[in-house]
Amino acid sequence: MNQLLARRKTCEGVTDYIAQAREGVLDAPMRQHYHFMPEVGWMNDPNGLIWFRGRYHLFFQYNPFDAFWGMMHWGHAVSDDLMHWEYLPPALIPDQPCDDHPKGGCFSGSAIEHDGKLYLVYTGTTNEGDGFKQTQCVAWSEDGVRFEKYAGNPVLTAPAGYDPANFRDPRVFAHDGVFYMVVGAKKSERAQALLYRSEDLLQWEFVNVLAESRGELGYMWECPDFFPLGDEGLYVLMFSPMGLGERKTVYLVGEMDFKTGRFSHHISGETDWGFDCYAPQSFLDGKGRRLLIGWANAWDWMPWWKDWGPTYKEGWCGAMTLPREVVMLPDHTLAFRPVQEVESLRDLPLVDGCDLLLKGGEARAVGCGAAAELDFTLDLAHTRASAVLLRLRVGNGRAVEVAFDLANAELRADRNNADGWSRGTCRAPLPMKGRETMEVRVFLDMDSIEIFADGGRVCQSLNVFAPAEQDGIEIEARGGEASVRDLRLWSLRRSIH
Ligand code: DQQ
C-alpha cells in the first residue's frame, strides 16, 4: 500500500484530507442552510444517535473521499441544540480485516453509554473473495471523540441458515439491566429482526426472532430501530424494508414480551411518505423526548429512484431530515413533529397570522422563501374546494406543486416541473374523517421540502434542486372556495455550512 493510502486509513489522515477538501465546498450554492449535511463527500444513514454527557451526538455513514457511496466510515458531529452542528473527526475508519472492503466498510449501527464510556456497535462489511460477509463489531470512547475498536471484533456473525451478506445494522438498547441488540437479517428470502442479549456488550447470546416478514413486509429490513413509547407499555419497531415497492420507512406498534423475545404488533404505519427519508433512527434525549432523524435521500433499487441529485458537482451529497419528535397518539398510531428548536431559527415573520378566503380558481402569492417555514390551518368546515394547491419554489416557469386533494383524501407532492432535474409525484392518504381543521407545517431548505400535515400524522420529505432565486410561494383553491387560516411565514436563519 502506498503512503497516501496508508495515511487515509488513519483518523489524522482522513481529518487532514477533509480540512483541505472542505474549503471548496462549504460556500457552494446548493448547500442546505439548516439541515445537517457532510462537510465534504458522501453521507447516508444517521448512526449512533445519542444524548451523551449533555450533548447531541450524530454519527453517519460517510465516504469523505467521493461524493458517491463507497468504503463506509462513520462521520461524527455534536450539537447543543440540534440545529447548529460541530464536525468532529470521523469516529470509525474502515481499517480492519472485517470492515475494510472498498464496497463495504463500517456500516450502520447504534450507540449506547456503558460504564461512563460511549460504545458504538456497527456492522463490519467485507468480502474475502467468497461473497460479502456482514458481522457485528464494537468500538468505544472515553471522551466521546476518539474511538478504539475492540480487538476481539467481530462480536457476532450470522447464524447458520441466514444470508451472511444481509445481517446488519445493530440497534442496541438496555432493558432491566441487560443489553439487547436487534439486527436486520434475511432468511429464505424473507426479512427478520433477530434479538440478542448481553451483559457486557461484547458477548452476545441469541434470544429469538423478534419479528419477521411473512412476505408482506419485504425480504430484508435495513436499520431496524426498537423502543418503548407512550405510557401504555407499548413498543415500536421501525425499519426500512427492501422489496416492498413504494413503502420504505415502516413502523409497527405492539407488545413486547421479554420472556420470549417476541414482539407482536397491531398497528402498521409509515414514518414518511415522501421520496427522501430513509433509515431513520431514534434516541431519547435529555428532555425525555424520543427524537428521530432520517437520511433525506433514497437508493437506486427503489421503484421511483432517479439519482441522488446534482450536489455531487459541488463535491458533496446527502443531508438529514429535520430532527422530529415521535409521539404516540391515542389510537396508537404515531405522529412525527419537527423539534421545537427549529423555531429558534425563525427571523421576523414575513407573514404573521393572515386569514385567506380564496375563491375557486383563485391563486394568491403569499411570499417568498427558499429557506423558510410556512404554517397554516386549512379550515375544512368552511372549505368547499375539491383541492387546495400549494406551489413552492415558484419561478422560472417552474414549481413544486403540493395538492391537498380533499375530494380524494390525498396529499400529493409533484416535482415533475420543479427544477429540470427531479421528477415524480409522492402520495399519502390524508385523514379527513371528522376533521374540521387541518394543521400544516412546511419546511423549505435549499434542496429539500418537508411537509407535516394533520399535526405530524402525515409527513412527506422530498428533495428539490431549484436555484435560490426560485423561491415564490403561492396558494390556490380548486373547484370551490377555500378558507386558510393563521398563515405564517418566516425565513429561517442559516445554522450550518
Ligand atoms: N446503508 C448502510 C447499511 C444499511 C444501508 C450502508 C441503509 O448498513 O443497511 O451504507 O441505507
Going by pLDDT thresholds of 50, 70 and 90, the confidence category of residue 458 is very high
- Compute the distance between CA of residue 171 and CA of residue 332 in angstroms, rounded to an integer: 23
CA dihedral 188, 212, 261, 234 (to 10 degrees): 170
User: Which 8-state DSSP code applies to residue 459?
Assistant: E
Rounded mean pLDDT of 246-254? 96
Q: How many helices (H) and strands (E) does the chain have?
A: 2, 33
Going by pLDDT thresholds of 50, 70 and 90, the confidence category of residue 2 is confident
Sequential DSSP letters for 50-94: EEETTEEEEEEEEETT-SS--SBEEEEEEESSSSS-EEEEEEE--
Nearest ligand 1 atom to the CA of 45 is 11
Residue 116 confidence (pLDDT) above 80 = yes
- Compute the distance between CA of residue 48 and CA of residue 170 in angstroms, rounded to an integer: 10
pLDDT value of position 455? 95
Residue 248 confidence (pLDDT) above 70 = yes
Q: Which residues line ligand 1 (CB under 6 A)?
A: 44-45, 61, 72, 107-108, 123, 168-169, 222-223, 278-279
User: Which 8-state DSSP code applies to residue 320?
Assistant: B
Cα(336) to centroid of ligand 1, in Å?
Answer: 23
What is the identity of the amino acid at 429? P
Q: Provide the percentage of residues in the chain whose pLDDT is more than 70.
A: 100
Cα(45) to centroid of ligand 1, in Å?
Answer: 6
Locate 132 and state its grid cell: 460479502
pLDDT value of position 3? 85
* CA 260 to chain centroid: 31
Q: Provide the percentage of residues in the chain whose pLDDT is more than 90.
A: 98
Mutate to test the pocket of ligand 1, among 47, 60, 61 (most ligand atoms within 8 A of CB): 61
Task: Give residue-wise pLDDT tens across range 200-242.
Answer: 999 999 999 999 999 999 999 999 999 999 999 999 999 999 9
**CB-count burial class (<10 Å; 0-12, 13-18, 19+) for 55:** middle
Residue 157 confidence (pLDDT) above 90 = yes
Residue 1 confidence (pLDDT) above 70 = no
Locate 71 and state its grid cell: 468504503
Going by pLDDT thresholds of 50, 70 and 90, the confidence category of residue 112 is very high
For residue 64, give Cα distances in angstroms to 76, 345, 415. 12, 28, 30
Cα(30) to centroid of ligand 1, in Å?
Answer: 25
Catalytic amino acids? 45
Tell me the pTM: 0.98
Cα(264) to centroid of ligand 1, in Å?
Answer: 25
Cα(354) to centroid of ligand 1, in Å?
Answer: 44
Locate 476 and state its grid cell: 390556490
Nearest ligand 1 atom to the CA of 223 is 9
Residue 302 confidence (pLDDT) above 70 = yes
- Compute the distance between CA of residue 434 and CA of residue 351 in angstroms, rounded to an integer: 29
Going by pLDDT thresholds of 50, 70 and 90, the confidence category of residue 329 is very high
Domains of the chain with CATH codes: 2-338 (2.115.10.20), 351-491 (2.60.120.560)
Task: Give residue-wise pLDDT tens across range 386-439.
Answer: 999 999 999 999 999 999 999 999 999 999 999 999 999 999 999 999 999 999
Nearest ligand 1 atom to the CA of 169 is 8
User: Which 8-state DSSP code applies to residue 465?
Assistant: -
- Compute the distance between CA of residue 7 and CA of residue 345 in angstroms, rounded to an integer: 39
- Compute the distance between CA of residue 109 and CA of residue 61 in angstroms, rounded to an integer: 9
Instruction: Select from 426, 460, 464 the least CA-distant residue to 445.
Output: 464
pLDDT value of position 5? 83
Averaged pLDDT score across all residues of the chain: 97
pLDDT value of position 4? 81
Nearest ligand 1 atom to the CA of 108 is 8
- Compute the distance between CA of residue 432 and CA of residue 409 in angstroms, rounded to an integer: 6
Sequential DSSP letters for 118-164: EEEEEEEEEESSSSEEEEEEEEEESSSSS-EE-TT--SB-PPTTS-T
Largest CA distance in the chain: 71
Closest residue by Cα to atom 5, ligand 1, is: 222
Mutate to test the pocket of ligand 1, among 169, 171, 239 (most ligand atoms within 8 A of CB): 169
* CA 358 to chain centroid: 35
Length of the chain: 497
Residue 283 confidence (pLDDT) above 70 = yes
Instruction: Select from 193, 200, 320 the least CA-distant residue to 256.
Output: 193
Residue 171 confidence (pLDDT) above 70 = yes
**How many Cβ atoms sit within 10 Å of the Cβ of residue 337?**
17
